[in-house]
Structure 1
Amino acid sequence: MAVNPFYLGTFVVYLVIVLGIGVWGYTKTDTVEDFWVYGRDLGPWLATWSFVANFVSAVSVIGFIGAVYGGGYAIMTGIVFGLMLGISALYFVVHKVRELNQVTLPDIIAEVTGREWARPIAATVLLGNAWVYLIMQLVGASLLVTTITGVPYKYMVWVIGVVFIAYTVLGGLVSVAWTDLLQGTLMVGTVFVALAYMALDLGGITAINSQFAAMDPANVAPLGKGTYTAIGVVGSIVAFFGTIFTGGNYIIRINATRDVRTAKFHLAASGVILSVFYAALVWLGGATTVALDGTGLSVDNVDKAFPVLITEYLPTEIGVVIILAVMSAILSTTDTRLHTTGVTTSNDLYDYFASDVSNDQKLKVSRYATIFFGLTATAVAVNPPGTIITLYTFRAILLTSAFLLPVYAALYWRGLDGRAVLASMSLGAILGVGWKLGGEFFSVPATFVGVGTALLVLIVGHFIWAEKPAAQTVASD
């Protein structure tokens, strides 16, 4: 593949800009609290656009468009609905999260269970999730840039990996939030520009939908081409609903805002923006499918559908605009997950096992962990273990099975025995992930098995241990 100097130049300029923001963020990061939670001073609009940019990722832009290309609009039923429900759920627990005055989800779990050793257990699950997420983000970014620039994938994945590690390590959440502001506004605006162009080019949204349905009526069916069953849709909604509430990066953002009112505002505003954005994105997936089919283009991997549209169908001027949007979506989510790995490692592992830890030591460990997780994820992304959507589904099952019921229950029912909560988390995660890896026997969704196990263990464990209560304070551990 020949190198496209125009696309490559645009990409290089973009990387230089985000690196520049990272360097500026470094000058504003004096303490570990600055690095972790922006000094707890995130304002409403900076928080909103940071949330939007963090939420939309390679999964959304490349993965979702690829999913529409391969399975039609059913992704709205199976995934997007669950994601929007998750944001709604976060809105209603903000006050519970803020009143605990903790930084991370493991902190919160330790507080509500009364057991400090909950922190490393929860941290291990969250770090596994974040690492998988980093891999799929790097795969999406590198596939896109390789396709449009002609630079071989095995080199591009390392270029992207090193850049996002660098600016995240430099400024922590300060760098992440301000790059997200740039990337979020750019991303939303350019996706609508792309959709407008495709609608004009193909005769309008109605014409796109008609042509999409003519290709295969299942493209516009709620359950798609056999992609989903009714029970599968419910399982998917539960899984993706659970990933939002239990995502460590979202908890960190809530705790980084100035107050409860700001936290609620940024979630409500983000929910409105993202609902409209995802509708546009799914339509863009339909337009991509119609355009590629009409010109005789096809791909061997659905994740390549959108990159091929950019290089083989769209004018260069429009292609550059879309490149910036997709890179914004990918890097803005990648840096957030990477930042979360540093915070979780330092706050919930290092601080738990070490003694007399200073804030300077915590800051150093956060940066070292950021580098470690970034480099290892990049190495795995060179030869990824599955498609973007496959990886995304796997980590959704992990998070939801481990945290959704136990953490929600513990937040609202403080009388729950802490041991029951932790047993519920552990066994839910093990059986949910194991069921998925085993092939989801009898077509029962892994989410049902994981969440069902968590519920059963939570109830049985509480009644067993509640009769012989242990001291429910962190100090007792």
Structure 2
Amino acid sequence: MAVNEFYLGTFIVYLLIVLGIGAWGYTKTTDVADFWVYGKRLGPWLATWSYVANFVSAVSVIGFIGSVYGGGYSILTGIVLGLMLGISALYFVVHKVRELDHVTFPDIIRDLTGREIARPIAAVPLLANAWVYLIMQLVGASLLVTTITGVPYRYMIWVIGFVFVAYTVMGGLVSVAWTDLIQGTVMVTTVLAALVFIIIDQGSLAAINTQFTQLSAANTMPLGDGAYTLLGLAGSLVAFFGTIFTAQGTIIRINATKDIRTAKIHLAFGGLILSVFYSALILLGGGVTVALNNAGLAGFENVDQAFPIFITDYLPTGIGIVVILAVMSAILSTTDTRLHSTGVTTARDIYDWYADDASDQQLMKVSRIATIFWGVTATAMAVNPPGTIITLYTFRAILLTSAFLIPIYLGLYWTGVAGNAIIASIVVGTLLGVGWDLSGGFLGVPATFMGVGGAFVALLIGHLVWSDSGGGRTSVAAGD
């Protein structure tokens, strides 16, 4: 593949800009609170766009369009609906999370259980989720950039990995939030513009959907051509609904806002923007599929290549360059959030538990070292990824929801549940959900149902066992 110097040069300029923002963020990061939660000073505007940018990723742009190319609009029913329902529901409990005034999800779990050991136990599935997310973001970014620039994937993966590790390590959430503001704005605006372009190019939205249906009648069916059974759909909705409630990056952002009102505003407006964005993105996927088929560019095996090929082989160069920047914005804005959360989780929930009374300077150092470690290892794994973007995305949704949805949010409102029962529920839910998914499942039962169901049963049995035997909650000092 020949190197496209124009696209490569634009990409290099983009990387230099985000590195510059990271360097600026470094000068504004004076203590560990700045690095972790922006000193709890996030206002509504910055918080909203940072949340939107954090939410939209390689999965959303490359993975979702690839999924539409391969299986039609059913992804709107099977995944997007669950995500939007999750944001809507989170709005009504966000005040509860913000009132706790903690830094991370394991902080909340420690208070629910009254057990310090809950912090490192909860940190394990959170780190696993973030690490898998990093891998799929790097795969998406590198696949895109390799396709458009001609630089071999094995080299590009390390270039991108180095850049996002560098600017996240420098400024923490300060760097992440400001790069997200820029990237989120570019991303949403560009995807809407791309949809307008493809509608004009193909004649009308009705013309696109007519041709999309002609390619396969299942393309416009809500459940696709057997892609989802009703049971499978229910399992998927629960899985993706649960990821909204249990993502470490979401909890960190809520607690980084300056007050409860800001926390609620950023979710309300963020949810509205994302609803419009995802609707446009799925329709864009249909337009991309039709355009590629009409131009004789279809037929590739890896559906994740659909959008990159559309950019390089179909779009005019000027438009393509803008779209590329939007896609890179989507990818890096989510990647830096997940990477940032790995550093916070490792320092706050594992090292601080182990070291006991670690200084702010030590916690800052560990945060940065951990950020480098998780970033580098994810980059190495992404060189030969273990699955497609959507496969990895589904796996981490099952992991998060199975581990935390039942024990944490039931525990928030069921104040009498035993602390040890919550911990047992987290462990059982994680093992059952992940184990069921990796084994391929049995009898058509979704892995999410096994994980969430197992967590619920473990919580009930654990409460019966420990509620009267000293395994209930105990008071824990809850410092930030």
* TM-score, shorter chain, exceeding 0.5: yes
Give me the whole-angstrom Cα distance separating, in 1, the residues matched to 2:398 and 2:356: 34
Q: Which residue of 1 aligns with 2:38?
A: 38
Q: Is the 8 A contact 1:183 1:328 kept in 2?
A: yes
Q: Which residue of 1 aligns with 2:104?
A: 104
The answer as to 2:340 corresponding to 1:365 is no
The answer as to 2:175 corresponding to 1:175 is yes
Counterpart code for 1:401: S
CA offsets, 1:41-87, max 9 Å, x none? 00001000000000000000000000000100000000000001111
Query: Given the two structures, how large is their TM-score scaled by the length of structure 1?
Result: 0.99
CA offsets, 1:326-363, max 9 Å, x none? 00000000000000000000000000001331001000
Counterpart code for 2:91: Y
Q: Which residue of 1 aligns with 2:224?
A: 224
Q: How does 1:254-269 map to 2 (within 5 A)?
A: 254-269=254-269
Q: Which residue of 1 aligns with 2:465?
A: 464
Q: Is the 8 A contact 2:408 2:422 kept in 1?
A: yes
Give me the whole-angstrom Cα distance separating, in 1, the residues matched to 2:114 and 2:415: 10
Give me the whole-angstrom Cα distance separating, in 1, the residues matched to 2:222 and 2:143: 29
Q: Which residue of 1 aligns with 2:377?
A: 376
Q: Is the 8 A contact 1:116 1:474 kept in 2?
A: no
Shift of 1:413: 1.3
Give me the whole-angstrom Cα distance separating, in 2, the residues matched to 1:351 and 1:270: 32
Q: How does 1:59-138 map to 2 (within 5 A)?
A: 59-138=59-138
Aligned residue pairs total: 476
Counterpart code for 2:461: V
Please give the secondary structure, in 2, of the residue aligned with 1:442.
coil
Shift of 1:471: 5.6
Shift of 1:437: 0.7
Please give the secondary structure, in 2, of the residue aligned with 1:441.
coil
Q: Which residue of 1 aligns with 2:160?
A: 160
Counterpart code for 1:117: I
Q: Which stretch of structure 1 is more off in the superposition, 265-274 or 408-417?
A: 408-417
Counterpart code for 1:352: W
Give me the whole-angstrom Cα distance separating, in 1, the residues matched to 2:8 and 2:203: 31
Q: Which residue of 2 aligns with 1:395?
A: 396
Query: Given the two structures, how large is their TM-score scaled by the length of structure 2?
Result: 0.98
The answer as to 2:316 corresponding to 1:321 is no
Change in 2 beyond 3 A, CA 1:206/1:199? same
Q: Which residue of 1 aligns with 2:291?
A: 291
Give me the whole-angstrom Cα distance separating, in 2, the residues matched to 1:323 and 1:424: 43
Q: Which residue of 1 aligns with 2:415?
A: 414
Q: Which residue of 2 aligns with 1:26?
A: 26
Counterpart code for 2:88: S
Q: Which stretch of structure 1 is more off in the superposition, 459-468 or 96-105?
A: 459-468
Q: Is the 8 A contact 1:91 1:267 kept in 2?
A: yes
Give me the whole-angstrom Cα distance separating, in 1, the residues matched to 2:198 and 2:461: 55
Please give the secondary structure, in 2, of the residue aligned with 1:443.
coil
Give me the whole-angstrom Cα distance separating, in 2, the residues matched to 1:320 and 1:443: 44
Counterpart code for 2:463: H
CA offsets, 1:182-206, max 9 Å, x none? 0000000000111111110001111
Q: Which residue of 2 aligns with 1:385?
A: 386
Shift of 1:474: 4.6
Give me the whole-angstrom Cα distance separating, in 1, the residues matched to 2:204 and 2:118: 53
Counterpart code for 1:7: Y
Please give the secondary structure, in 2, of the residue aligned with 1:36.
helix
Please give the secondary structure, in 1, of the residue aligned with 2:343.
helix
CA RMSD of aligned residues (A): 0.9
Please give the secondary structure, in 1, of the residue aligned with 2:227.
coil
Q: Which residue of 2 aligns with 1:210?
A: 210
The answer as to 2:180 corresponding to 1:198 is no
Counterpart code for 1:50: S
Shift of 1:467: 2.5
Q: Is the 8 A contact 2:113 2:472 kept in 1?
A: no
Shift of 1:475: 4.6
Q: Is the 8 A contact 1:110 1:474 kept in 2?
A: no
Please give the secondary structure, in 2, of the residue aligned with 1:399.
helix
Counterpart code for 2:414: W
Counterpart code for 2:357: D
Q: Is the 8 A contact 1:421 1:458 kept in 2?
A: yes
Counterpart code for 1:365: V
Counterpart code for 1:120: P
Q: Which stretch of structure 1 is more off in the superposition, 465-474 or 204-213?
A: 465-474
Q: Is the 8 A contact 2:418 2:472 kept in 1?
A: no
Give me the whole-angstrom Cα distance separating, in 1, the residues matched to 2:268 and 2:357: 40
Shift of 1:466: 1.3
Give me the whole-angstrom Cα distance separating, in 1, the residues matched to 2:358 and 2:237: 41
Q: How does 1:337-352 map to 2 (within 5 A)?
A: 337-352=338-353
Please give the secondary structure, in 2, of the residue aligned with 1:228.
coil
Give me the whole-angstrom Cα distance separating, in 1, the residues matched to 2:40 and 2:147: 40
Shift of 1:470: 3.5
Give me the whole-angstrom Cα distance separating, in 2, the residues matched to 1:377 and 1:33: 26
Shift of 1:89: 2.2
Q: Which residue of 2 aligns with 1:252?
A: 252
CA offsets, 1:186-227, max 9 Å, x none? 000000111111110001111111110111110000001211
Please give the secondary structure, in 1, of the residue aligned with 2:93.
helix
Q: Which residue of 2 aligns with 1:57?
A: 57
Shift of 1:232: 0.6
Unaligned runs of 5+ in 2: none
Give me the whole-angstrom Cα distance separating, in 2, the residues matched to 1:133 and 1:274: 19
Q: Which stretch of structure 1 is more off in the superposition, 146-155 or 461-470?
A: 461-470
Q: Is the 8 A contact 1:54 1:180 kept in 2?
A: yes
